Amino acid sequence: MSGPRHLRVAVVGSGPAGFYTADALLKSEDPPVAVDVLDRLPTPWGLVRLGVAPDHENIKAVSRAFERTAARPGFRFFGNVDVGSAVTPAELLERYDAVVYTIGAQTDRRLGVPGEDLPGSWPATAFVAWYNGHPDYQELPFDLSHGRAVVVGNGNVAIDCARMLALTAEELAPTDTVDAAERAIVGSGIREIVMLGRRGPVQAAFTPPELQELGELAGADVHVDPHDLELDAASAEALEHDRERARRNVDLLREFAARPAKGLPRRIVLRFLVSPVAILGEERVEAIEVVHNELVEQDGRLVARPTDRRETLPCGIVLRSVGYQGVELPGLPFDAGESIVPNDGGRVRGVERTYAAGWIKRGPSGVIGTNKKDAVETVDALLADARAGLLKAPDDGDLEALLRDRDVPFVEYAGWQAIDAAERAGGEPLGRPRVKLTAWSDLLDTGRGVQSRS
């Protein structure tokens, strides 16, 4: 690029945090910044493409804002570049004035109960990645032939999993759910989907719009036992002073509890104050054993304490949705307790010119928009360091030359646009937003060698 020397920044990860970071950097005039965004996948957008539920197309539309960022001068994309194996953090620091890690939370949190690894017990991360077309998860043998599925967890991802299992052929048809998942869901033998919440309805993590949607499904009744909505004194008190969310959730749950069943083919049962203690089965999942909890106050918050009441619920599949978790990237510090890269307002502790944003900075919480504020905080810190003269790469080498030397088959932004166009063209005659390419070979064959104009 011509004009004053640009600060050269690599952003590792192309999810919302990566794109909000790139956007804030590319808007800087003092200093002007050139940004390379790297991702281990050939496709950008992170969980917007591979996490957000396929029937939430309006939410996926945030990628249009990311496309505008990618169109800014100074932006480059390097897909199919796994930082840690294709190139190391140290090699990036040699070539960039600063590096921002926005690698999200790549794995699931464990329940820590016996039987967790029995066939038929799956982390929600895998189920979500499967129905969304993540190329690493397409061979997984999800068996939906059993009558009951259990979803452990009471957040929006748990609701996504329960809802996806309950969608009808007509509801799935206009989405970009991958074919194998769509066929399995439509042909599934699942008649009941039970969601298990550790604490009570007032403490549930899901949000009212997602809860409301469960009550609007074409093929599933929603069932709540009115006894589960009899609040203990502390929860009732918490509700009095609530936050909008719990109050609206409880109103919706009361409405569900009062509703007569319509006799739809499937039903979703919302249970509260129960935790799994074991997943049972000889060769595969046959049941889940739960303990009934009571709420007690601990350090100013209401926590679940197990009672001696237990119950066994026969089921054929368990989806564990108790949170995502960051993964250590070799060459970067890692706080194993919090599963984040330790940082102060985005400055990674103990490593020069290195920053973090998004889920790997603060943990897996918040909506897509939360990552914008978070990214801006990190970029403010980075630009302040640049103005203070603290950022300067030792070397002016270019990443592209290194990747070519190593025969890393990277995908440029134009390559992603070719993938995008092929997917949209595949979806058009079917009235779907896209038919995703889900095999590494198809993604790379379509995206490789298509060069972006700089």
Q: Which is nearer to ligand FAD, 167 or 291 (CB)?
A: 167
Q: Which is nearer to ligand FAD, 46 or 133 (CB)?
A: 46
Using DSSP bridges, classify how beta strands 287-298 and 266-271 pair: parallel, antiparallel or unpaired.
unpaired
Task: Report the nearest approach of ligand FAD to the CB of residue 362 (Å).
Answer: 9
| CB-CB contact of 37 with 18 (8 Å) | yes
Task: Report the nearest approach of ligand FAD to the CB of residue 214 (Å).
Answer: 14
The residue of the chain with the least Cβ separation from ligand FAD equals: 15
Q: Which is nearer to ligand FAD, 23 or 39 (CB)?
A: 39
Task: Report the nearest approach of ligand FAD to the CB of residue 244 (Å).
Answer: 17
Q: Which is nearer to ligand FAD, 157 or 238 (CB)?
A: 157
- Residues near ligand FAD (CB under 6 A) are 12-18, 38-41, 46-47, 51-52, 56, 59, 82-84, 102-104, 106, 128, 157, 160, 324, 329, 358-359, 366-368, 371
Phi first, then psi, for residue 409 (nearest 5°) are -80, 75
Helix (H, G, I), strand (E, B) or coil at 205: coil
CA angle 329–46–448, rounded 5-degree value:
90
Q: How far is residue 248's CA from residue 253's CA, in Å, rounded to a whole number?
A: 9
Task: Report the nearest approach of ligand FAD to the CB of residue 162 (Å).
Answer: 12
The token pair that represents 254 in the structure block: 């009361």
Phi first, then psi, for residue 2 (nearest 5°) are -90, 180
Q: Which is nearer to ligand FAD, 32 or 366 (CB)?
A: 366
Task: Report the nearest approach of ligand FAD to the CB of residue 127 (Å).
Answer: 9
Task: Report the nearest approach of ligand FAD to the CB of residue 212 (Å).
Answer: 14
Task: Give the helix/strand (H/E) hosting 329.
Answer: none
Task: Report the nearest approach of ligand FAD to the CB of residue 30 (Å).
Answer: 26
Q: Which is nearer to ligand FAD, 12 or 348 (CB)?
A: 12
Q: How far is residue 202's CA from residue 216's CA, in Å, rounded to a whole number?
A: 21
CA distances from 236 to 200, 204, 247, 249, 271 (A): 11, 14, 10, 13, 18
Q: Which is nearer to ligand FAD, 40 or 148 (CB)?
A: 40
Sign for the CA dihedral angle at 234, 240, 245, 246 comes to positive
Q: What is residue 298's DSSP assignment? A: E
